[in-house]
Amino acid sequence: MNTTTNTRKTTNRTTREHVMSLARNLPLTKSVLASKIDAATPGQLGFLADLFQAENESRERSRRERLTRQAAFPQPKDLDGYDWSMASFPADWGRQQLTSLEFVHAAEDLVLYGDVGCGKTHLAIAIGRLACTQGIPTRFFTASSLVMRLRNASAEQRLDKELAAIGKAELIIIDELGYLPIDIEGARLLFQIIADSYEKRSLVFTSNLEFSRWADVFGDGDMAAAVIDRIIHHGRIVRFHGESYRNTHSLMK
């Protein structure tokens, strides 16, 4: 290997390091970028196009991954191979509208209600993960974990900060509403999330309790009525019927 080749490699490496150090200080100023683009050769323009395309794709991929991590899904469920046979949709609204996420963009709500083990949580997670891939900030909680989180924040005098953090999401999924009892303090905290989200962001609930039994969850008929009123105003119910998937595929037979 001759001296010229070594010198060229050293120069290229130095130039590369210099470019990388400059890139770390971006974003670019539009006027500077425009002037350089105007002066660029076709080959240079092609290189810049490839560079910016790769950078945009990398940033978008990183954002999707960050949103998925922040959502805190318990499992990586998606819609591939999902069994829709146990889900019954409203007459004027179906799978296409659900998977388009138009209800999220419209800040509408969704209740996945029905028998245990019929895919409600799976579908809720899949909706949330789909939202993350489309750049929609999402949060996933079980009802009991959300109440505990808010209770701890309240005890530590940081409830407003916690509510603001959760409120940054455009989609909030509350799983297993009614599976565990909630005391009146917890019910009020949960109501605050629901009331604050009204017409601002989309809520998705999973529950095996019909609306008439939600008073048992909130421990207060008036509070339950206020929650239901907000949900049904801009919301829909998808009903689930059938034998539990877990029972059907159980090893204990």
User: Residue-wise pLDDT tens for the chain (253 aa)?
Assistant: 566 666 666 766 776 676 666 666 667 777 887 888 888 888 888 888 888 888 888 989 999 999 999 999 999 999 998 999 999 999 999 999 999 999 999 999 999 999 988 999 999 999 999 999 999 999 999 999 999 999 999 999 999 999 999 999 999 999 999 988 889 999 999 999 999 999 999 999 999 999 999 998 888 899 999 999 999 999 999 999 988 765 555 545 5
159-166 and 184-197 helices, crossing angle to 10°? 40
Q: Which residues contact 37 (CB under 8 A, 6 or more apart)?
A: 45, 48
Strand order in the sheet with 235-240: 87-88, 235-240, 109-114, 202-207, 171-175, 138-142
Which CATH code of 2.60.40.1730, 3.40.250.10, 3.40.50.300, 3.30.470.10 fits the domain covering 84-248? Answer: 3.40.50.300
> How many angstroms separate the CA atoms of 239 and 208, rounded?
10
Task: CATH 3.40.50.300 in the chain: give the residue spans.
Answer: 84-248
- 92's tokens: 């004027």
